[in-house]
Amino acid sequence: MEKSNKTLLLRIFIGSTDKLGNDSLYESLVFKAKKAGLAGSTVVKGVMGFGASSVIHSYKFWEVAEKLPTVVEIIDEEDKVMAFYETIKGDLEAMRYGCLVTVEEVTVLLNKAGQKREFYF
């Protein structure tokens, strides 16, 4: 990610149980972002929230599989983020349940890559 280029943060608000085919939607989005070579992606699960349906979703300790508000965040240069969005737009529009997608310009203060870990079993 070049510091001189405009950097965007793409946020996709979905439910933790939403699917893309047989796969978890949030996992599919992260794997697609990695395959597309984007700079980074993070999934954040909320403890409570509601969207356009006005249905409140919240975590209760006895309902581990409850649908929780989930946000997939993806960051990179503007052209890469917008090109990636165009590749997933059809999947999001075809979803049975709703979602919200936002994009905003961000200022990157630090982008330090860590060392890759090697695991020996």
**What confidence score (pLDDT) does residue 39 get?**
95
Interacting residues of 77 by C-beta distance below 8 A, sequence separation 6+: 1, 2, 5, 6, 7, 8, 39
Does residue 71 contact residue 43 with C-beta atoms inside 8 Å? yes
Interacting residues of 111 by C-beta distance below 8 A, sequence separation 6+: 1, 3, 39
When pLDDT is cut at 50, 70 and 90, the band that residue 27 belongs to is very high
Distance CA 31, CA 26 (A): 9
pLDDT per residue as tens digits for the range 49-104: 777 777 776 666 545 557 788 999 999 999 999 999 999 999 999 988 889 999 99
Split into its structural domains, the chain has a count of 1
Q: Is 93 within the bounds of a domain?
A: yes
Q: Is 83 within the bounds of a domain?
A: yes
**What confidence score (pLDDT) does residue 56 get?**
72
Q: Is 28 within the bounds of a domain?
A: yes
**What confidence score (pLDDT) does residue 58 get?**
67
**What confidence score (pLDDT) does residue 116 get?**
75
Q: Is 88 within the bounds of a domain?
A: yes
Q: Is 121 within the bounds of a domain?
A: no
Q: Is 94 within the bounds of a domain?
A: yes
What does the chain come to in residues? Answer: 121
